[in-house]
Chain A
Amino acid sequence: CDVWERVSTGILTTESTRSPSSIGDYKITGRDSLVFLVDASKEMFIKGEDGEPSNFDMTMQVVRTVYTSKIISSDKDLVALVFYGTEESKNPRNSFKHVYVYHDLSEPGAKRVQEVDALRGEKGAKLAAETIGSGETSLGDALWCCANLYSDIKLRLSHKRLMIFTCRDEPHGGDSVKDRQARTKASDLKETGVVIDLMHLMKPGGFDISLFFCDIVSPPEDESELGLQLQPSDKLEDLLKRVRAKELKKRALARLNLCLGEGINVAVGIYATAVAARKPGSIKLYRETNEPVRSKTRTFHTQTGSLLLPSEIKKAQYYGGKEIVMERDEVDAIKKFDDPGLFLIGFKPMEKLKLHHHIRPAVFLYPEEDEVKGSSCLFSALLKKCSERNVFALCRFISRRNYPPRFVALLPQNEELDEGKVQITPPGFNVIYLPFADDFRTLDPPQFPSASQTQVDKMKEIVSKLRFKYRSEGFENPVIQQHFRNLEALALDMMAPEEIEDLIMPKVDQIDQRLGPLVQEFKDLVYPAYYNPESKPAAKRKTADTGGGAEKKPKVELTEDELKAHVQNNTLVKLTVPVLKDACKQFGVRTTGTKKQELIDALIARLRS
């Protein structure tokens, strides 16, 4: 998709703007799409005991979360929201009864988030009853309608997913004609590459997939029974986790070979599982109309003004008094050591991997059976043995064409499932990038006496008091959250952006309260009475270090004319206080104060007189 834009904007660009950070140029050939098909029958609106939210409410919460996370992380993805079993009908040609297309397939925006919000909670249930209502059910029609949504899209879709949210395991109450129709439509959809998932929700008496839905959903990727044994979700968190797991299409950054030796190549895919999310870049708009403008970059000759072809440009670096010039392709060739791939050097015990050998986020390795048959088996054996023997594999890694090598450690990671049989960690190798000698800096660590055991023990009390369970998903990035709240407020004409909670701010009051007298006790043990850690260090030894005060800037002496000019042009403010002070001395101006304005005033008074 980005490529599409690039060609239209960069037609006359001679150098492409390649993003240097990501590894692998894996080409994205279309948009991802996701349709939420939500049951709107009466059963969905029944509230749980103790005022637990209804299944419908919970689903809307999930839809909202997905909308906003798509806006933040993948705003090109298309999302739709369709209700079935409604009283009212609304769809493109209004050819389906009891199907209500709330949002058709497109990029989610601020307005849509608001519209989903409107369906949440008590008020939301009321609004839903008014606008869509609950009526007859024909899942076949609903699926058909969704199929039309897909085919109406002019864009190329790379990944199509449809999620059914329902708490009814027999939507048609045993009507075999409707059941059959639904099955046919489902298989039509699946044939066009749509993956159908069931997000079944809790209902009294349990949800029996085998009654009907087992024929509707797509078989799980790995053909094991895993997908169908899932328990229905009764908690929001659970449901969110399940939706999250499916909602993101995993894309390999690169597919390459892990070479163990001559002719032993295991095909693997490289996946980025942790990527620093950034504020998206700004786009340039024309002031008058707020429409986006396109940029064109040209490289031309300064003297002749003619456009320069790539062949008329070379690259240079300046060293030792000489411009060293290379052809553009030589610059690339220098970086080439070998073709992309992983090459096994050997194995090392896990404790040889040092904690501080870290230079960039890790990536993940998983076999690609489709490329080299037998990869999964060898990969699996390697994984099993590395894990059993607690060793890691050391490899040389070239991530893409014309990239210099790095060494990496392949850390085995076994598959883990939670109680609900949802995968928490996938099986595969984590790829840890290792530093070269150049990546270490020589430090001169200051030497201090170690703390005594009494002091250490006191600190241990403090540490124990502030113990908590860290979860990696526990902290939102306040910078990004604030940015999107701001945009949301502007997009929706809100008075002020929604407040964000800065989760990485220490909860000082809580900490103080928990620690109580421990802090003072610790301080009494380590700090003398007169010592204040908040104050600046007493004597700066800076002067001694840098070799005396010889570095003082030469004095800037102003002539009388210059000074007068400054007075006339009202530019005295631009001078620094020391310069002004010198000027005062020079012209015999006596000042009472030392503030800048006072100096300026005094000078003006003297020179005007």
Chain B
Amino acid sequence: MRKHGLKTAVVLCMDVGLTMSNSAPGEESSFELAKKVIQKFVQRQVFSETKIELALVLFGTDSTDNPLSQDGQYQNIRVHRHLRIPDCELLIEIENQVQPESKEGDWLDALVVCMDLLHTETKGKKYDCLNIALLTDLNTQTNEESLEVIINNLTQSGITMQFFLPFPVEEDKEGQGDSERRDPGHPGTGKGLSREQKKNMELVKEMMLSLDVEDGLDEIHTFRNAIEELCMFKRVERRPVAWPCQLTIGSSLSIRIVGYKAVTDEKPKKMWITVDAQSHQKDDVKRETVYCLDDDNETEVQKDDIIQGFRYGSDIVPFSKVDQEQMKYKHDGKCFAVLGFTKQSAVIHRHQFMGSQILKIFAARDDEHAGVALSALIRALNELQMVAIVRYAYNRTSNPQVGAAFPCIKQDSECLMYVQLPFMEDLRHFTFPSLENKKFTPSDAQLSAVDSLIDSMMLVEEDENGEQRDLFKPHRIPNPAFQRHFQCLHHRAVSPGTPLPPIEPWLKAALDRPEVITERCQDPLDVLKRKFPLTEVEKKKKLKTSAQIFEESEAKKVKEDEAEEYNLANIAEGSVTSVRIRGRQLTHRIEQLLSNKNTQYYMKSITCIQAFREQSVKLANAEHYNSYLQSLKGSIPNRGLEVFWELLVQGMICLFT
């Protein structure tokens, strides 16, 4: 299932028959597990928008619906969906229509139906990969005579097979004796298998070993492993784009290179679009920006009458686009030119890396001479422990950078790694008070407490074989933001109208401290807690941000003095009466409230102003509101209401975001 060629067709073939619903108490049935595998797989395809085509065949169904069914043959097999690109509809169907049924279906028959489906529906088109994934507990009567024909047919048409079973395959390795070896996570293994299952298992093995695949048994998976693996949405993958250029040292030494983005802060592919709440149509919503002069009438200015300018300190300098284009810094375009070489460690600070990416620079493909020349540079830098400082420009229109090219030598490849370095303008030299201060100097006892904490929390350790084991690798964790995003989209697509689900437990666990560490560090943490007294500072008059004050009083507002509130509500909630009257009442009230310089009253005024604003928006008449706010703003300094104004600004912004 993991193969993603250029064009791929996959048939998911799932057993929904009687025995699939069996389960040990407290355990999920095979049916439930298999359904999860299918859901996760389809989910993955839908949200990564691959062009893989998918069909769904069910067997063990009560009804029969397939092109081969005739004269009592190929019964209880239903083609649920023909080969198509998977969509949300399919997710919904799987959620609602794939249910346990009560018949028994022959998995070999079902396989033939799948092969036939692939044959007919891919005819005349080119595919790189044809695949059938069979999910079953193998607990059915099978007509094994056809096995050989099926194997031949699979081989001829180049169809690959994958099996998903409730139990792991037992490899007949030399030591027959350890057939007792069972994975505790997989009940129903070994002795627990029925006669049918054992017999079928042999057939599966025979089939997988005779197909022309390396290590065919590797394509037999258990439900649980598959779910774990599929849980992580396919990571967002992008095709690397080659950037051909020349590395130059001076005027006469150049090496043909090609650069690729190797590491970069990957952003979600799709943005949210704004739609109308009722129709869900984006075309119903339009955003428009108008410009106006900063005068009392807010005189609107046409777009054509607007020119561009820039601030130069206190000055505003008109600077047209044409002039700007003409006078701006220009350069010769794409380049990767060495400015010089410098020592690696002492000078280049890791925390001064800029930009959001790492480029890997290789010699141009199929150019062995460039390969040797670049290799000489990479190895020279590596032996001298130096880096090249280079000027890098992606193309003519992009801004040139200064950066460092580090040598990187791996077993099978050599390259330069380029990272951007700061310009003088980017750096901020802050000074901080020294921590070598008597008040903060930790005692020896305190230092040793930290020491043992570090000991207990080392994430890299050597196992008994002397091999290093890293317990926590962030670069192996899929970006949780994407995982959560797709989880929620899936949920909303399948079950609209219901609240979003909680974060999946596996994801939470992946982001947390490993359990071993949690256990190990408990005692050192307790010691640390005793040794380092930490007390939250109660500020006598804690300077709250206005946003906090706002939030708090928003929360309190409802309960507190409702008597006062009803007044406001009455004034604020007009139906269609003219804004002017409402406005006058409201502004009167605001002025009243503002005569008390007190946060409590400020908050009430702000509520009024918000009500006023909402009214104005509702009735699309902002004139009075805007002019009142203008005059209010003007009067702030005289009335000493700066604190109020700030709260207002914060409050409005809180609302708008």
Contact = CB atoms under 8 A, between A and B. Distances in A.
Contacts of B512: 345
Interface string B489-510: 1001100100010010000000
A274 B422 contact: yes
B276 interface: yes
A385 B515 CA distance: 24
A113 B315 CA distance: 12
Interface string A369-402: 1111111111111111110010100101000000
B500 A330 contact: yes
B253 A359 contact: no
A303 B279 CA distance: 12
Contacts of A486: 319, 324, 327-328
B366 interface: yes
Contact of A472 (B350, B352, B471, B492): B352
Nearest to A286: B301
Interface stretch (B150-158, B305-313, B589-597): B305-313
A274 B354 contact: yes
A568 to B, nearest CB: 31
Interface in B467-491: 470-472, 474-482, 484-485, 488-489
A356 B475 CA distance: 11
B477 A436 contact: yes
A357 B475 contact: yes
A587 interface: no
B57 interface: no
Contact of B371 (A331, A446, A481, A483): A446
Give the size category of A's interface with B.
35 or more
B209 interface: no
Contact of B413 (A426, A447, A507): A447
A475 B423 contact: yes
Interface residues of B, number: 224
B168 to A, nearest CB: 26
A80 B503 CA distance: 55
B305 A331 contact: no
Contact of A315 (B252, B275, B381, B657): B275
Contacts of B341: 463-464, 466-468
B260 to A, nearest CB: 5
Contact of B309 (A282, A352, A479): A282
Nearest to B453: A260
Contact of A109 (B90, B315, B439, B616): B315
A442 interface: yes
B408 to A, nearest CB: 7
Nearest to B430: A250
A244 B429 contact: yes
Contacts of A291: 293-294
Contact of B614 (A67, A286, A290, A309): A309
Interface string B340-359: 11100001111111111110
Most buried by A among B262, B433, B546, B649: B433
Query: How would you classify the secondary structure of chain A's contact residues: helix, strand, loop or mixed?
Result: mixed
Contacts of B431: 245-246, 250, 423, 426
A337 B454 contact: no
A523 B253 contact: yes
Contacts of A152: none
Contact of A283 (B309, B357, B476): B309
B386 interface: yes
Most buried by B among A386, A462, A497: A462
Contacts of A491: 312, 315, 317
Given A110-B313, A284-B291, A438-B478, A374 B376 contact: no
B622 A11 contact: yes
B61 to A, nearest CB: 25
Contact of B441 (A27, A380, A436, A519): A380
A441 B533 contact: no
Contact of A358 (B313, B358, B451, B626): B358
Interface in B283-304: 283-294, 298, 301
Contact of B430 (A248, A432, A511): A248
B86 interface: yes
A261 B373 contact: no
Given A288-B305, A313-B277, A451 B287 contact: no
A512 B446 contact: no
Query: How would you classify the secondary structure of chain B's contact residues: helix, strand, loop or mixed?
Result: mixed
A317 B360 contact: no
Most buried by A among B87, B249, B307, B496: B249
A512 B252 CA distance: 8
Interface stretch (A1-9, A81-89, A137-145, A174-182): A1-9
Nearest to A381: B442
B459 A508 contact: no
Given A467-B341, A490-B317, A345 B373 contact: no
B622 A379 contact: no
A286 B263 contact: no
A228 interface: no
B318 A508 contact: no
A314 B276 contact: yes
B427 A273 contact: yes
A324 B88 contact: yes
Given A441-B238, A533-B370, A436 B479 contact: yes
A466 B315 CA distance: 44
A415 B430 CA distance: 12
A362 interface: yes
B511 A405 contact: yes
Contact of B263 (A75, A435, A515): A435
A457 B376 CA distance: 8
A107 B313 contact: yes
Contacts of A468: 340-342, 389
A384 B352 CA distance: 22
Interface stretch (B74-82, B211-219, B398-406): B398-406
A537 B256 contact: yes
A565 interface: no
A369 to B, nearest CB: 8
Interface stretch (A14-22, A49-57, A199-207, A594-602): A14-22
Interface stretch (B97-105, B109-117, B134-142, B265-273): B265-273
Contact of A319 (B47, B283, B293, B360): B47
Contact of A476 (B235, B417, B423): B423
B301 to A, nearest CB: 5
B178 interface: no
Contact of B366 (A277, A298, A458, A537): A537
Nearest to A450: B375
A551 interface: no
Most buried by A among B265, B351, B653: B351
Nearest to B412: A447
A348 B473 CA distance: 11
A411 B363 contact: no
A405 B415 CA distance: 31
Given A276-B354, A347-B458, A298 B290 contact: yes
B398 to A, nearest CB: 10
A299 B328 CA distance: 35
A108 B537 contact: no
B428 A442 contact: no
Contacts of B352: 274, 361-362, 472
A313 B87 CA distance: 26
A129 interface: no
A473 B428 CA distance: 10
B350 A430 contact: yes
Interface stretch (A94-102, A188-196, A524-532, A576-584): A524-532
Given A273-B351, A293-B291, A373-B535, 12 more contacts: A72-B425, A75-B314, A224-B437, A298-B288, A302-B286, A316-B280, A320-B89, A371-B537, A472-B427, A475-B423, A508-B250, A512-B251
Sorted nearest first, the 6 A-B pairs with minimum C-beta distance are A448-B371, A222-B433, A404-B481, A430-B351, A407-B474, A322-B88
8 contacts: A11-B626, A220-B433, A286-B293, A321-B87, A322-B87, A345-B459, A374-B534, A446-B413
